[in-house]
Amino acid sequence: MKEFQCGSLVPGCDWHTRADEEAEVMRRAVEHMRETHGETVIRETMIEAIRSRIQKVRDAA
């Protein structure tokens, strides 16, 4: 299970997402950046920043 906490990139944002695949976490994070934070262009540096903050977490039992 992979997790991204938006607050690690955008201070004060409580949004987070979890998925089995990193690609799905990335898709959701990019969608969130567009919809919530008004990012109209997602540059490679933003993708790298998101990817570097994705963490592996244990599945909830």
* Average pLDDT over every residue of 34-60: 94
Closest CA to 28 of 44, 60, 50, 9: 50
Q: Is the pLDDT of residue 32 over 80?
A: yes
pLDDT of residue 61: 57
Q: What mean pLDDT is reported for the chain? A: 95
Give the SS3 label for residue 35: helix
Q: Residue 19: what pLDDT? A: 97
In degrees and rounded to multiples of 5, residue 47 shows phi and psi of -60, -45
Sequence spans of domains, the chain: 2-56
State the sign of the Cα–Cα–Cα–Cα dihedral 55, 20, 5, 45: positive
Q: Tell me the pTM.
A: 0.89
Average pLDDT over residues 30-58: 96
- State whether residue 59 is helix, strand or coil: coil
Q: What is the mean pLDDT of residues 6-15?
A: 97
